[in-house]
Amino acid sequence: MRIMAAAYGGIGFAGGFAAAAEPRPPPADAAMRIAGAELVATPDGALWWAAERMLVVADLHFEKGSTFARRGQLLPPYDTGDTLGRLARVVERFAPRVVVALGDSFHESEAAGRLLPQHAETLAALQRGREWVWIAGNHDPEIGGRAGGVELGELAVGPLRFVHEPRKGAAPGEIAGHLHPVVRVVGRSGSTRRRCFAQDGSRAVLPAFGAYAGGLSLFHRAFAGLFGAELKPFVCGRDAVYAISREKLRAD
């Protein structure tokens, strides 16, 4: 594993920050400490806790495309396959003992029943030989048996508590999703909007992992009251995670 917490230098960001033809290097992760736990943020948007061999992802939003299609808004129906493919790569990379999905794993509770057979088989293969925890989200308060794994409202392990929606005020050790944090980073070639891990050493909100999940600016009022003065986003580039100084961040 190659770990780094680099200062932003314009490397690996889409939209003119790196040449598309360059060969992709091994992922460069960023180490962070939350409530004393040593964690690793990956460019994919996953969080790795080596001490527990735990992989954490947020807001997969499987079957968002098919959910929209049922409501008459047609989207290309490839989001679940894409998200599963990226999830499979990060699972293969870390070989976790347990995977925790922080809610909104399915875009609606009924979506698990719409998984294509090949996608259901891929999910079952990823779960084989390890624990798999689905934290309940606002989109999927119940998932049903076809998704496998165990469904919980929240999960506490050591100093950390894994939930879907972050609570206002102090919440040491809380690892949440729900808000899909993104930031706009200003660099030499312009600016780019990227997913990020929002964290201040006490708690963290993970970026959305799903292909169609979208993002909410870290400057949005929904983040008010969550973080202290030590807020430092870790920004997901193409192949690396970057600790970005706040003067390089802009609101949308």
Taking only the tens place, the pLDDT of each residue in 190-223 is 899 999 999 999 999 999 999 999 899 999 999 9
> Residue 68: what pLDDT?
66
How much of the chain exceeds pLDDT 70, in percent?
A: 88
H-helix or E-strand spanning residue 50: none
Rounded Cα distance between 61 and 80, Å, is 8
> Residue 5: what pLDDT?
38
> Residue 95: what pLDDT?
98
Q: What is the pTM of this model?
A: 0.87
> Residue 149: what pLDDT?
95
Neighbours of 231 (CB within 10 A): 15
* Segment 29-49 mean pLDDT: 97
Q: What is the pLDDT of residues 140-149, one digit of tens each?
A: 888 876 789 9
Residue 97 has pLDDT above 50, yes or no: yes
Region at 28 (left for phi over 0; alpha for psi -120 to 50; beta for the rest) = beta
Nearest alpha-carbon partner for 233 in 223, 117, 55: 223
How much of the chain exceeds pLDDT 90, in percent?
A: 67
Residue 17 has pLDDT above 60, yes or no: no
Instruction: Give residue 64's pLDDT band: very low, low, confident or very high (50, 70, 90).
Output: confident
Mean of the per-residue pLDDT values for the chain? 87
Residue showing tokens 């990956």? 42
Neighbours of 43 (CB within 10 A): 20
Residue showing tokens 């609606």? 108
Structure tokens at 74: 């047609």
> Residue 14: what pLDDT?
38
Q: What is the pLDDT of residues 232-241, one digit of tens each?
A: 999 999 999 9
Region at 167 (left for phi over 0; alpha for psi -120 to 50; beta for the rest) = beta
Distance of CA 241 to CAs 39, 169, 235, Å? 13, 27, 5
Instruction: Give residue 112's pLDDT band: very low, low, confident or very high (50, 70, 90).
Output: confident
Residue 8 has pLDDT above 60, yes or no: no
CB 189, CB 19: distance < 8 Å: no
Torsion angle, alpha carbons of 176, 83, 32, 165, to 10 = -10
Structure tokens at 63: 């079957």
* Segment 175-182 mean pLDDT: 98
